[in-house]
Structure formats: structure tokens, C-alpha cells
């Protein structure tokens, strides 16, 4: 004979079953949102439903592409955008593009060369970044006293490239400058650190502005003009010693090793401002962003190699959410207000758009200068495959 269950026990079991049901529903909703549910008004397919789109990009854009919000926006389109990084010159000359859907170098001349060789029908330039110099307060003060740097009314620092080239040509050391004994008593040469001219776009942009000034404020466009400036240009790179192949390495050395290792580093403006907006404390009060005068705009340009790559390029150029996220990483989208809003919201003064801006030489002229400088190195550049982040 079965004894009737106590009503209190029945109620307790009922409550437990109800709670288990609620927990099950919550887990189901969570699982659905994580692997196929709605987010931001769109549907993100599960990972197995995403189409992998392969891109080769400049290393300075890697944090942007790895941002979860950027990934989510591409996933709304059904894409899993996977990237590897390489120097812009590598992308244009030596990287195997088999199976690649798009390339995204930091150089308009490199992009034009890739477009021509791959017969791509179009390119997209969703954002740009002026070239700048990451340095320190004692350094700008020394340069100001020596007549090599100035500070404008807005507080922005500018490096006079003509005066800087004269100092380098004279073999000037930091210890030679007035006030160096107190501010920076270093016997190192006054020299900007850059990436490897044989591999990276930021070094090529440095060469572009320096050769313009050395050529009497005229873009180098003939063999005769190149021959007149090439010795001076080669010294800017050969006298640095070892240089990294991509732009993130010298900037990270600047952040971690400080003034003793990297008193001046050629960077993209976006690297400095993006890191400042990240709030990780890497940009300290003694660090300064200085602009070369003249400078060059690095125009980050997407060259689609497939239909999916074209869609990625269109999204980068037209999606306002991606423009906002690009500005968060320090890049300047077409809408200047987006860039200003991001900086202001992070309590950072908005730098004015540089006015004294020059264009780089043609791809052929720039490549010719790079090849001539490259031939003067004692050792060859590492192969492209060893420098791509996998």
C-alpha cells in the first residue's frame, strides 16, 4: 500500500521543478544569444555559420580588427574576418596573397600598386592617420632651445624637418644641445627611431617627408633629384642600427623602455591617441605627441581581392559604427566630428588637422629610393613570411 505524499513535500518539489525550469529557460536564452541570438538589433550567426574572410593588414590596425564590437558588426553580415599583419611594403611586394580576400596597407602608393597588379576594380580609404613623433617633455624642450622644435598657441608641438636634417647631417648628439646636461645627458645622436625602411610603411612615409625637404620642398620625381638626396636619406635609416619590421614594435619599446631607449619614434598619430584612449596607463604625463613639419598622411586603403573582401571594404567605408570604433583606436574617419567626439569623451584635447602636409612620391620613385637604401645594408631584410603575425 502506497502512502500519500505530504502536501508540504509536494509543494517543495513543485517549487524545485519550477526553479529548474526557469534556470533552463535562462540558460537557453543565454546560449542562443551567445551562439546565434540577437544583439544590437541584428542576428549574429553561430560560429559554424560564419564565412571566413581573410585579410592582410598593417600591424597598427590589429587591435581594431580584434575588438569584439568590430567582430560582432562583421558577424551581422555573416563574416568571421581573420587577419594577419605585415609591413605595407611587404604586402605590396612579397606577401603571398593566395586565398586572401582583401589587403589593408597603410600606404596609398602601396595600395595603388596592389590594385594595379591584382586588377582590383576599386579601393576604399575609410580612415587616415598623420605621421607623428612619440617623444618626451625633456626632449621637446631641448629641441625648442636648439631651434628645432616649436610649440603653437594650442600647445601642439612641431618638429622643423629642415632644422632636424641639418642637425643630423652635422652629427649632433643630444649632449651637444643647450641644457642637455640637466635634461637629457645622452651621447646618442639626435635621430628619430623608425621601422625598417625595407619593410614598413611608416619608415617609407618618414622617407617621403624627409626627401621632400631635402629636395628643396619638392617631391622627388626624377633620378637626378633622387641622386642628390639619397646619401642624406640613407643615413637617417642606416645610422639607427637595428629596426623592427612593423610599426607596433618601436612604439611598444617607446612605451616600455622610455626616454633612454627611444627618445623620438616615428609613429602613426593613431597609435599614440588610441593607446591614450584605452586608459591602460601606458601613456604617461611626460610623453608628448609631436608633429613633423611638414608631415604626410598615411591613408589606410582597402584593396578587395574577392567579393567578400569588397563587402568588408564597403562596410569599413560606410558603417558609422565602424567609423566610431576606428576613431576609438585613434584613426581619423571621413567625418571629423566622429574623431573629435571620441577624444573629447575621453578627456583628450583634439589635435588640429595638420596643414603643412605633403604627398609621398609615386610608388615607383619611392620604391627606387628604398631599393637604393636597402642595397647599403650589411645584411638582407628578413623574409616576409617570418614577420607576419599568424
Residues 49 and 160 in one domain: no
Is position 244 within any domain? yes
CATH at residue 287:
3.40.190.10
Residues 73 and 217 in one domain: no
Is position 351 within any domain? no
- Cis peptide bond upstream of 14, omega within 30: no
Cα–Cα distance for residue pair 232/101, rounded to 1 Å: 39
Residues 97 and 179 in one domain: no
Residues 184 and 329 in one domain: no
- Considering only residues 305 and 8, tell me which one the structure prediction assigns the higher pLDDT: 305
Q: Give yes or no for residue 371 having a pLDDT over 70.
A: yes
pLDDT tens-digit readout, 27-36: 443 444 344 4
Average model confidence (pLDDT) across the chain: 87
Residues 307 and 290 in one domain: no
Looking at residue 382, what is its pLDDT?
62
Residues 100 and 220 in one domain: no
Cα–Cα distance for residue pair 372/368, rounded to 1 Å: 6
- Considering only residues 381 and 378, tell me which one the structure prediction assigns the higher pLDDT: 378
pLDDT band, residue 127 (cuts 50/70/90): very high
Looking at residue 22, what is its pLDDT?
43
Cα–Cα distance for residue pair 108/356, rounded to 1 Å: 18
pLDDT tens-digit readout, 48-59: 599 999 999 988
Q: Give yes or no for residue 119 having a pLDDT over 70.
A: yes
- Secondary structure (3-state) at 210: helix
Q: Give yes or no for residue 45 having a pLDDT over 50.
A: no
Q: What would the DSSP string read from start to end of 212-255?
A: HHHTTSS---SHHHHHHHHHHHHHHHHTT-S--SSTHHHHHHHH
What is the extent of the structural domain holding 202? 130-298+357-387
Looking at residue 8, what is its pLDDT?
47
Amino acid at each position: 500500500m502506497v502512502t500519500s505524499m505530504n502536501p508540504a513535500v509536494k509543494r517543495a518539489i513543485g517549487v524545485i521543478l519550477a526553479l529548474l525550469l526557469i534556470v533552463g529557460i535562462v540558460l537557453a536564452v543565454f546560449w542562443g544569444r551567445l551562439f546565434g541570438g540577437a544583439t544590437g538589433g541584428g542576428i549574429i550567426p553561430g560560429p559554424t555559420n560564419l564565412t571566413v574572410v581573410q585579410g592582410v593588414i598593417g600591424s597598427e590596425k590589429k587591435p581594431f580588427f580584434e575588438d569584439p564590437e568590430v567582430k560582432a558588426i562583421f558577424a551581422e553580415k555573416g563574416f568571421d574576418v581573420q587577419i594577419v599583419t605585415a609591413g605595407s611594403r611587404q604586402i605590396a611586394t612579397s606577401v603571398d596573397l593566395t586565398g586572401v580576400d582583401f589587403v589593408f596597407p597603410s600606404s596609398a602608393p602601396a595600395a595603388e600598386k596592389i590594385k594595379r597588379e591584382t586588377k582590383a576594380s576599386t579601393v576604399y580609404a575609410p580612415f587616415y592617420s598623420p605621421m607623428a613623433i612619440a617623444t618626451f617633455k625633456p626632449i621637446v624642450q631641448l629641441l625648442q632651445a636648439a631651434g628645432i622644435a616649436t610649440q603653437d598657441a594650442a600647445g601642439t608641438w612641431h618638429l622643423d624637418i629642415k632644422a632636424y636634417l641639418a642637425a643630423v647631417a652635422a652629427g649632433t648628439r643630444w649632449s651637444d644641445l643647450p641644457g642637455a646636461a640637466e635634461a637629457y645627458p645622452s651621447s646618442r645622436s639626435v635621430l628619430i627611431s623608425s621601422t625598417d625602411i625595407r619593410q614598413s610603411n611608416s619608415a617609407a612615409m618618414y622617407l617621403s617627408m624627409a626627401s621632400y625637404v631635402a629636395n628643396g620642398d619638392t617631391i622627388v620625381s626624377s633620378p637626378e633629384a633622387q641622386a642628390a638626396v639619397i646619401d642624406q636619406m640613407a643615413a637617417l635609416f642606416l645610422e639607427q642600427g637595428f629596426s623592427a619590421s612593423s610599426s607596433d614594435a618601436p612604439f611598444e619599446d617607446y612605451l616600455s623602455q622610455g626616454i633612454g631607449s627611444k627618445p623620438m619614434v616615428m609613429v602613426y598619430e593613431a597609435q599614440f591617441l588610441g593607446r591614450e584612449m584605452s586608459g591602460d596607463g601606458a601613456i604617461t604625463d611626460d610623453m608628448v605627441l609631436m608633429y613633423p613639419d611638414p608631415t604626410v598622411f598615411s591613408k589606410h586603403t582597402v584593396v578587395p581581392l574577392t567579393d567578400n573582401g569588397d563587402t568588408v571594404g564597403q562596410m569599413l567605408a560606410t558603417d558609422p559604427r565602424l567609423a566610431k570604433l576606428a576613431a576609438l583606436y585613434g584613426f581619423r574617419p571621413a567625418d571629423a566630428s566622429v574623431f573629435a567626439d571620441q577624444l573629447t569623451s575621453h578627456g583628450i584635447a583634439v589635435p588640429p588637422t595638420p596643414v603643412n602636409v605633403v604627398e609621398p612620391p609615386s610608388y615607383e620613385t619611392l620604391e627606387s629610393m628604398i631599393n637604393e637604401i636597402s642595397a647599403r645594408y650589411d645584411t638582407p631584410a628578413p623574409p616576409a613570411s617570418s614577420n607576419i603575425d599568424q
